Structure 1
Amino acid sequence: MLVAVTTFTVASVLVVLLPGPDTLVVVRNLMRGGRGAALRASLGAMTGLSIWVVAASLGLSALLTASHEGYLALRITGAVYLGWMGITTLRAKAHDSPGEGAEPRRGLIGSGFTAGLLTDLLNPKVGVFFLSFMPGFVPDGAPVVWTSLLLGGIFVVLTALYYLMLLALSGPVMRWMADGPVRRWVDRVTGLVLIAFGVRLAIEP
């Protein structure tokens, strides 16, 4: 079991360090509302991950994978949501986020905890990832459900540490982005990447 946990942890670190839509949403909230909004988005993303971990451990996400219509509907909804956040980010003005401690502009569901939660929950590929990734590290004879929950918990903890690292480094980043032209450039890049994630989610099986 120790070897399996160690191997899984090393592999998970490599996966966590690859930025995905949830990381970008945390960064987006950092730009628009400071550390408070970024922290709430991080908690939302980790909650979404935790729900998918439990679903994968219990085999529930396998049912979603087996249902083509359900998987497609969730995938398209997630793609539209990411695209909408990308468009609103592209349309944001440099003065929309005055900095640390400021509240982000009120949108529909594009900020804070809800943004992080929906970014993960509306992406069925997260559930499929756990369903295909974790079983390979479950030792023969080990209880599948409890071992999967343990491995998934490790992944969530590693993700939390990654977000804490981002927040710890956010001070210099916020000062750097306080410059109007820099902020506009970052907004454009963030918005385009969010839209690209949405398009990829929509067209890839």
Structure 2
Amino acid sequence: MLVSLVAYLLAAAVIVLLPGPDTLVIVRSIMAGGRRRGVAAVVGIQCGLLVWVTAAALGLAALLKASEIAFDVLRVAGAVYLVWLGVQSWRSRGTDDPSAAPRGGLLGTGFRGGLLSNLLNPKVGVFFVTFLPGFIPHDYPVGATSLLFGALFIALNASYQVPLVLLATKVTALMSRQVVRRRLERITGAVLIGFGIRLATEN
């Protein structure tokens, strides 16, 4: 269990650090209403993740209890997902600038924007359904372990996003530098591909 937990935390930390829709929502919220609205967006994002984690854990518990083959299929799917994320990071040229995100947006800003950006994004659900099973040790309860791992992911996510809000000006300036973004994408891409290969080849 300890080995699986450490591997999961490392992989989750790398994924959390990847710039994505959540980062854009936070930056947009800060631009629209300052740090307070940015914090509200962070809270909304974590609430959305909590809903997806709970739904995924309950669904996985029912599915994997019925079929060991399903467990292996999801493990391989999770590996493919990690490799795909890694390849996408490698292909990125680091040209997307989070500070260029529009002030508004269809889903709004603040708590509502953070919540809806997660709840209305089915990729978040697919992520948890394919990512978590690969790290759950055999002979451990799938539902409870999925909830634990999901809670740890939310904690990691919040521990990254809160400082992002507090250091908004410095972070957005740093992330706007193409060289920095390109190097970050290359490093995270290599790590994700490595974890994907590990999941696909382990017994």
Give the TM-score normalised by the residue count of structure 2: 0.61
Residue identity matched to 2:123: K
Note if 1:12 corresponds to 2:12. yes
Distance 1:19 1:173, change over 3 A: closer
Partner residue in 1 for 2:186 = none
1:172 and 1:8 map into 2 onto residues whose CA distance is 29
How is 1:105-184 mapped onto 2 (pairs within 5 angstroms)?
A: 109-172=107-170
CA shift, 1:168, in A, is 2.5
Q: Which moved more, 1:165-174 or 1:11-20?
A: 165-174
How is 1:98-109 mapped onto 2 (pairs within 5 angstroms)?
A: 109=107
Residue identity matched to 2:54: V
2:171 and 2:148 map into 1 onto residues whose CA distance is 34
Distance 1:117 1:124, change over 3 A: same
2:107 and 2:162 map into 1 onto residues whose CA distance is 23
Map Cα deviations across residues 95-154 of structure 1 (whole Å, 9 max, x no partner): xxxxxxxxxx8x985021010000000001100110000001000100000000010111
Partner residue in 1 for 2:78 = none
Residue identity matched to 1:59: G
Residue identity matched to 1:11: A
Contact 2:22/2:117 (<8 A) preserved: yes
Question: SS of 2:137's equivalent?
Answer: coil
Unaligned 5+ residue runs, structure 2?
A: 64-100, 174-203
Map Cα deviations across residues 1-27 of structure 1 (whole Å, 9 max, x no partner): 111111100000110011111111011
Give the TM-score normalised by the residue count of structure 1: 0.60
Residue identity matched to 2:114: G
Contact 2:35/2:166 (<8 A) preserved: no
1:153 and 1:108 map into 2 onto residues whose CA distance is 28
Residue identity matched to 2:158: A
Aligned residues: 135
Contact 2:27/2:168 (<8 A) preserved: no
Question: SS of 1:8's equivalent?
Answer: helix
Residue identity matched to 1:170: A
Unaligned 5+ residue runs, structure 1?
A: 64-88, 93-104, 177-205
